[in-house]
């Protein structure tokens, strides 16, 4: 190694060889994310669904509870699913044999009885939930996951707070001053003939 210290040619040669080796090894071990996505084989039995996946589920209705597992008050359009398969915040499109229940739902709830490909759709009326019963449903994953606890107000929150502050402190609009009302000149009636 002592001969490298005295010759610039050797330093340049060793540097170039090291760079070439690094580039060859780097390209052999690191895959481009686009090529990995294109070559990925989705096996729903071993991994969770991907956005755009169509999966067969068994759907039931529920009507109890006031707050979901995500902390949101229950309302129409909320569904409960196994968080290992469809994490909280996932948006799904549900198609059932009865078209009145078809629509877009957001997974905002979980439950101890919901495992695997079970899905609970929230109904504000318990009679509707009972009438829904248990149905096969074709679920299309629109968006997979969203963690509401990981979201922060950030820029959007500051903008909304500023807008609300500005609206609360806005001076009332100036009312235009009406011109003074002048009465028409009083004229004497014409003489009678």
What is the rounded distance in angstroms from the CA atom of residue 105 to the CA atom of residue 93? 6
Q: Tens digits of per-residue pLDDT, 56-113?
A: 999 998 888 888 887 888 888 889 998 888 888 888 889 988 888 888 998 888 877 8
Return the pLDDT at 58. 92
Tell me, what DSSP letter sits at residue 71? S
What is the rounded distance in angstroms from the CA atom of residue 120 to the CA atom of residue 59? 6
Q: Is 143 in contact with 107 (CB distance < 8 Å)?
A: no
Locate 157 and state its tokens: 């929150």
Provide mean pLDDT across the span 17-38: 64
User: Which residue has better confidence, 132 or 41?
Assistant: 132
Question: SS3 of 150, please?
Answer: helix
Average pLDDT, rounded, for the chain? 75
User: Which residue has better confidence, 25 or 120?
Assistant: 120
Q: How confident is the model at residue 46 (pLDDT cuts 50, 70, 90)?
A: very low
Return the pLDDT at 152. 41
What is the rounded distance in angstroms from the CA atom of residue 61 to the CA atom of residue 139? 15
Q: Which among 66-75, 127-136, 171-180 has the top mean pLDDT?
A: 127-136
Locate 101 and state its tokens: 């229940």
Question: Selecting from 2.40.40.10, 3.40.1030.10, 3.40.47.10, 3.90.550.10, what CATH number does the domain 54-148 have?
Answer: 2.40.40.10
Return the pLDDT at 41. 43
Locate 40 and state its tokens: 């990925």
């Amino acid at each position: 190694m002592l001969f490298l210290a005295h010759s610039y040619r050797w330093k340049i040669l060793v540097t170039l060889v090291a760079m070439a080796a690094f580039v060859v090894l780097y390209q052999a071990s690191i895959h481009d994310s686009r090529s990995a996505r294109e070559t990925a084989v989705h096996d729903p039995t071993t991994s969770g669904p991907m956005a755009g996946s169509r999966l067969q589920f068994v759907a039931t209705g529920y009507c109890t509870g006031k707050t979901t597992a995500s902390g949101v008050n229950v309302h129409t359009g909320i569904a409960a699913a196994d968080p290992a398969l469809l994490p909280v915040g996932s948006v799904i499109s549900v198609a059932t044999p009865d078209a009145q229940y078809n629509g877009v739902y957001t997974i905002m709830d979980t439950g101890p009885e919901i495992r695997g490909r079970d899905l609970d759709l929230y109904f504000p009326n318990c009679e509707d939930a009972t009438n829904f019963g248990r149905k096969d449903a074709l679920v299309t994953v629109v968006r997979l996951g969203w963690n509401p606890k990981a979201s922060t107000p950030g820029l959007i929150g500051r903008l909304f707070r500023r807008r609300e502050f500005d609206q609360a402190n806005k001076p009332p609009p100036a009312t235009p001053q009406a011109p003074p009302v002048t009465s028409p000149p009083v004229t004497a009636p014409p003489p009678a003939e």
